[in-house]
Amino acid sequence: MMTDQIILSNARLVMEREIVTGSLVIRDGLIAEIDTGAQVPAGAIDCGGDLVSPGLIELHTDNLERHLSPRPGVDWPHEAAILAHDGELAACGITTVFDALRVGSIKSPTGMGYKPYARALASEIHALRAGGHLRISHHLHLRAEMCSQTLSDELDGFGPEDRVGLVSLMDHTPGQRQFVDVGKFRQYIQGKYGLEDKVFDAYVAELKELQATFGPRHEAAAVAAAARFGAALASHDDTNAAHVAQSAAHGVAIAEFPTTKEAAQACRAAGIAVMMGAPNIVRGGSHSGNVAAADLARDGLLDVLSSDYVPAALLTAAVQLAQMTGDLPKALATVTSAPARAVGLEDRGRIVPGLRADLVRLRMVGKTARPVSVWSLGQRVA
Q: Domains of the chain, with CATH numbers?
A: 1-53+350-382 (2.30.40.10), 56-347 (3.20.20.140)
pTM for the model stands at 0.91
Cβ atoms of residues 166 and 98 within 8 Å: yes
pLDDT of 2: 45
Chain segment 12-53, per-residue pLDDT in tens: 999 999 999 999 999 999 999 999 999 999 999 999 999 999
235, 255 Cβ separation under 8 angstroms: yes
Nearest to 257, CA basis, from 233, 269, 273: 273
Tens of pLDDT, residue by residue over 224-235, are 999 999 999 999
Count CB atoms within 10 A of the CB of residue 271: 9
Q: What is the pLDDT of residue 201?
A: 73
User: What is the predicted pLDDT for the residue at 183?
Assistant: 67
In the predicted model, residues of the chain with pLDDT beneath 50 are 1-2
Give the pLDDT of residue 1.
41
